[in-house]
């Protein structure tokens, strides 16, 4: 594989284990074999009891089939729900492997739209200022691109659908932005992009990556915390991070709590640049 490239399998949190869709009709997304056995048994018992009751009480012959049909209803409903779930899983796994590579000149014109695509979600939280922020221009990505600190996640057609942009703040790599198109959500692409950056900076001998993010937005602070990032106290923030905080205040972003976070890397695994 070319230098700077990495391939990950999208439905695995670690990016290493291929997701196997359940193809066995008796082992679906909602019920395993034991669950299906219990449901089939319930259907049989219901049908037999109903058959016996109708036979004892008499009535038209077709009435004897009503309990069996009633017993089949939960089986059919569960199976239809599972078929829909499997179809959605297959749609989400159309990208079999997520390839992360350094950006190319031709990618830059697409990246503003990718970054802007997730902004609408902020409107649901009443954060219209963030949602209405203008898309970045090509020039905004050129610095990181020229420095080889801009990486993209691409599909089988080599079209970018995610990006991570890194700058240097206080001498440390700093994640300025990580974005993924909403239609590609759910494959851990954002986590894989961050992991790709972490592996690279660790190889270069750095021991920490930083970023700034919203405290309470579910896909910001809490999300990074689940990935192992820690809140960086004000006392540990250098002049560069404090300057970023002042810039955010000037833009009005201080209306919603923000914080610096850091990911600590193992220095023994890195090598000198």
* pLDDT at residue number 4: 54
In a domain, 21, yes or no: no
The predicted-structure confidence for 146-186, as pLDDT tens digits, reads as follows 999 999 999 888 999 999 999 999 999 999 999 999 888 87
In a domain, 160, yes or no: yes
Asked which of 75, 92, 109 is the last residue of a domain, the reply is 92
Give the pLDDT band (50/70/90) at residue 2: very low
Are both 80 and 167 inside the same structural domain?
Answer: no
In a domain, 51, yes or no: yes
* pLDDT at residue number 11: 39
**How far lies 196's CA from each of 4, 8, 145, 200, in Å?**
9, 10, 16, 6
Give the pLDDT band (50/70/90) at residue 14: very low
In a domain, 10, yes or no: yes
CB-CB neighbours of 33 under 10 Å: 11
Beta-sheet strands, E only, within 24-83 = none
Helix (H, G, I), strand (E, B) or coil at 192: helix
C-alpha to C-alpha distance for 192 and 14, rounded to whole angstroms: 8
Burial (Cβ within 10 Å: 0-12, 13-18, ≥19) of residue 183: exposed
Are both 104 and 194 inside the same structural domain?
Answer: yes
C-alpha to C-alpha distance for 237 and 55, rounded to whole angstroms: 81
Give the pLDDT band (50/70/90) at residue 273: very low
Are both 74 and 152 inside the same structural domain?
Answer: no
Are both 11 and 60 inside the same structural domain?
Answer: no
In a domain, 22, yes or no: no
Are both 254 and 219 inside the same structural domain?
Answer: yes
In a domain, 26, yes or no: no
**pLDDT mean over 26-45:** 63
Contact 184, 196 (CB under 8 A): no
Are both 79 and 214 inside the same structural domain?
Answer: no
Q: Write out the two tokens for 116.
A: 């802007």
**pLDDT mean over 75-103:** 71
**pLDDT mean over 204-215:** 95
Are both 12 and 84 inside the same structural domain?
Answer: no
Number of Cα atoms under 13 Å in the Cβ half of residue 178: 24
Asked which of 58, 77, 92 is the last residue of a domain, the reply is 92
In a domain, 1, yes or no: no
User: Does the structure show a pLDDT above 90 at 245?
Assistant: yes
The predicted-structure confidence for 129-142, as pLDDT tens digits, reads as follows 998 988 899 999 99
59: containing domain: 33-92
* pLDDT at residue number 77: 77
Are both 71 and 196 inside the same structural domain?
Answer: no
Asked which of 42, 57, 92 is the last residue of a domain, the reply is 92
* pLDDT at residue number 63: 66
In a domain, 25, yes or no: no
User: Does the structure show a pLDDT above 50 at 116?
Assistant: yes
Q: What is the CATH number of the domain that holds 101?
A: 3.40.630.30
Are both 45 and 102 inside the same structural domain?
Answer: no
Q: Residue for token digits 């739209």?
A: 113
Contact 176, 165 (CB under 8 A): yes
C-alpha to C-alpha distance for 174 and 197, rounded to whole angstroms: 10
Are both 132 and 47 inside the same structural domain?
Answer: no
* pLDDT at residue number 212: 97
* pLDDT at residue number 78: 74
* pLDDT at residue number 89: 59
* pLDDT at residue number 105: 96
Are both 43 and 142 inside the same structural domain?
Answer: no
C-alpha to C-alpha distance for 191 and 189, rounded to whole angstroms: 5
* pLDDT at residue number 192: 93
Are both 127 and 246 inside the same structural domain?
Answer: yes
User: Does the structure show a pLDDT above 80 at 85?
Assistant: no
Q: Residue for token digits 């016996």?
A: 52
Q: Write out the two tokens for 203.
A: 């190889």
Number of Cα atoms under 13 Å in the Cβ half of residue 65: 3
Query: Residues for the chain: how many in total?
Result: 273
* Domain count of the fold of the chain: 2
Share of the chain above pLDDT 90, in %: 51
Residue 210 CB partners (closer than 8 Å, separation 6+): 169, 170, 172, 173, 174, 175, 232, 241, 260, 261, 262, 263
* pLDDT at residue number 183: 86
**pLDDT mean over 57-70:** 68
């Amino acid at each position: 594989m070319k230098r700077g490239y990495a391939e990950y399998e999208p439905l695995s949190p670690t990016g290493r284990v291929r997701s196997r869709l359940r193809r066995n009709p008796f082992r679906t997304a909602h019920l395993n074999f034991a669950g299906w056995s219990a449901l089939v048994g319930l259907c049989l018992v219901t049908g037999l009891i109903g058959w016996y009751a109708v036979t004892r009480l008499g009535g038209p012959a077709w009435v004897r089939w009503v309990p069996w049909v009633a017993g089949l209803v939960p089986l059919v409903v569960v199976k239809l729900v599972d078929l829909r779930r499997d179809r959605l899983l297959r749609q989400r796994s159309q990208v079999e492997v997520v390839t992360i590579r350094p950006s190319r000149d031709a990618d830059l014109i697409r990246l503003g739209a990718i970054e802007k695509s997730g902004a609408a979600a902020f409107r649901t939280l009443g954060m219209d200022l963030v949602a209405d922020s203008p898309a970045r221009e090509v020039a905004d990505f050129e610095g990181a691109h020229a420095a080889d600190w801009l990486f993209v996640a691409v599909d089988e057609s080599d079209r970018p659908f995610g990006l991570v942009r890194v700058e240097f703040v206080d001498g440390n790599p700093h994640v300025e932005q990580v974005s993924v198109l909403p239609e590609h959500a759910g494959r851990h692409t954002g986590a894989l992009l961050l992991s790709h950056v972490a592996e690279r900076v660790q190889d270069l001998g750095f021991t920490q990556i930083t970023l700034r993010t919203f405290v309470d937005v579910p896909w910001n602070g809490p999300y990074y915390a689940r990935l192992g990032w820690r809140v960086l106290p004000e006392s540990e923030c250098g002049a560069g991070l404090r300057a970023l905080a002042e810039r955010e205040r000037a833009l009005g972003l201080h209306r919603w709590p923000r914080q610096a976070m850091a990911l600590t890397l193992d220095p023994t695994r890195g090598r000198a640049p």
